[in-house]
Amino acid sequence: MIEHFHRPRTVREALALKRRLQGRATFLAGGTRLNSSESGPPPEHFISLEGLGLDRIETKRGQVVIGALCTLQAVLEDRRVPAALKAAVAQVASRNVRNAATIGGHIASNLPWSDVIPMLVALEAKLGLARPGGAATIAVADYVARRPPGLITRIVVARPAAGRLTACRNARASANARSIVSAAVSLALSRQVVRQPVVALGGVAEHVQRLTAVEAALEGKPLPSSDEIQALVGRSVRAREALSGSAAFRTYQAGAVVALALRDAARGREARA
Amino acid sequence: MKIAVRVNGVPREFEVRPGERVRDLLRREQILSVRNGCDGQGSCGACSILLDGRTVNSCLLLAPQIDGKKIHTVEHLAPNRELSAIQTAFIDAGVVQCGYCTPALLLATEALLARHAQPTRDQVRDAFSGIFCRCTGYEQMFAAVELAARRLADPEHAPPAVPEFRDDLRLVGKMNRKVDGPRLVRG
């Protein structure tokens, strides 16, 4: 039962409130996840982040710095945001949700089926994390795996290097359903040989993960056929049974979306839903 | 706790509980056009409102989150009982069936046409992407938005003529607006 709604004006105030209230309080950004009836019981205190001024997008030294409180729609509409990230955000199907959900809140929710986190991982994006002891920077992939305490203040995305190819794909049961699996890839092609691939997948584990075994198998070789990629992914993931499908079905879908995303990237086709 | 909100252009103050959903607040205030279609999951969009001009699900917002902001519900489209161009376009295009999600679709159309005077089909699809309509035809929604766009530019713009038949009957085979259409588009 929510009994208190706090409106700190600075990050320092927000952190102090959280430190004082500990597990009885939760940071609130857009609220599309925390306020949903699908979420568990609400906390006693909400600490609203709206007044912290974290809703700007800037460019600094070739990097795009996105304030954690920017809505997904604001990210989608900003011309400075890399097209690859916009394509991933566009996969969040409901415009109503994109108008309210924030990118920081989306990452903090750490949903296994996220359509945005795989691309942030593929782009090797970093998070600015405010903590009582001081600020820290952490890779998105590490954040979702380890969930360190702290408040996400910004997302830093380097502009993709020249020749870097990215794409994302997902599989879902209906247009507005959550993804069953969602993949994002990034790679370079040098004389048709794959270099430095990054393959990120959501929907098969507790959080989005990099498929490092798949990346190692792709490195330094021509892109394998879709069937070979599918088999490779099938050997690398251990999908769990879920309402959205059996382990075998989800493993099959994982292989399919990774293969499609790699094919799109290799063809230079920007990510699509 | 007390919040101050501009509702349909009118400054209002409400006493709310910190965990009260905006949908529940509005329905408590007899704004019944804001519907409950998914018990607060946020998947149907029937509770859509415009928050500072953007469509959002009011079931996913807590009342303190709208403090100091402007919200609009479908009631603002016909303040003097006279239907707006968007509302008449929806009736004429046959998009109003049960009317449950119609207020949400109307608000999404209003926001869309404020962004794009002549939206593409992809833009229409995106504008309605958060709203689950269970009964109305889907193609007609594109026709309704196109008609609304034309009618906003020219209030006299008539819907496309269709052939009528059975001269011996008054209603069957005639171009008539759905009898309860005006009531349903008012929410």
CB of B1 less than 8 A from some CB of A: yes
pLDDT at A128 over 90: yes
Residue to substitute from A27, A37, A95, interface B, most B β-carbons within 10 A: A95
- 8 Å CB contact of B60 and A48: no
Mark out chain A residues that contact chain B at CB-CB < 8 A.
Answer: 1-5, 7, 28, 31-32, 35-38, 42, 46, 48, 50, 73, 93-97, 99-100, 175-176
Contact A2 B43 (CB under 8 A): no
Report the alpha-carbon distance of residue A183 to residue A215 in Å, rounded: 13
Residues of B in contact with A48 (CB under 8 A): 64-65
Cβ pair B178, B94 in contact under 8 A:
yes
Tokens 């794909």 belong to residue: A169
HEC string for B52-68: CCEEEEHHHCEHHHHCC
Mean pLDDT of the B123-151 span: 92
CA B177 vs CA B91, B136, B141, B153, B158: distances in Å: 6, 15, 16, 22, 13
Going by pLDDT thresholds of 50, 70 and 90, the confidence category of residue B134 is confident
Average pLDDT rounded to a whole number, residues B157-169: 89
| pLDDT of B15 strictly over 80 | yes
pLDDT digits (tens, 9 = 90+) for B80-121: 889 999 999 999 999 999 999 999 999 999 999 999 999 999
Q: Rounded to an integer, what distance in angstroms lies between the CA atom of residue A31 and that of residue B22?
A: 12
Task: Answer yes or no: are the C-beta atoms of A192 and A169 closer than 8 Å.
Answer: no
Min Cα separation A35/chain B (Å): 5
Cβ <8 Å between A46 and B62: yes
C-alpha A273/C-alpha B62 separation (Å) is 31
pLDDT tops 80 at residue B136: no
Name the residue in chain A with its Cα closest to that of B17. Answer: A3
> Which distant-in-sequence residues (6+ apart) come within 8 Å of A272 by Cβ?
A87, A167, A168, A169, A264
In this structure, how many other beta carbons lie within 10 angstroms of the beta carbon of residue A7?
Answer: 16
Confidence of residue A272 (pLDDT cuts 50, 70, 90): very low
List helix spans (H) across A78-225.
Answer: 83-90, 95-100, 103-109, 117-122, 140-146, 212-218
Contact A31 B57 (CB under 8 A): no
B46 phi, psi to nearest 5 deg:
-70, -15
Closest residue by Cα to residue B42 from A244, A99, A44: A99
Chain B: give the shortest CA distance to residue A75, in Å.
Answer: 15
The pLDDT of residue B137: 67
Instruction: Give chain B positions within 8 Å (CB) of A87.
Output: none
Q: Is the pLDDT of residue A273 over 50?
A: no
Mean pLDDT along residues B157-170:
89
Q: What is the pLDDT of residues A61-84, one digit of tens each?
A: 989 999 999 999 999 999 999 999
Give the mean pLDDT of chain A.
Answer: 94
Q: State if pTM tops 0.90.
A: yes
> Which of helix, strand or coil describes residue A47?
strand
Specify the range with the lowest mean pLDDT, choosing from A41-55, B34-48, B123-137: B123-137
Closest CA to B61 of A36, A242, A78, A255: A36
The number of C-beta contacts closer than 8 angstroms across A and B is: 87
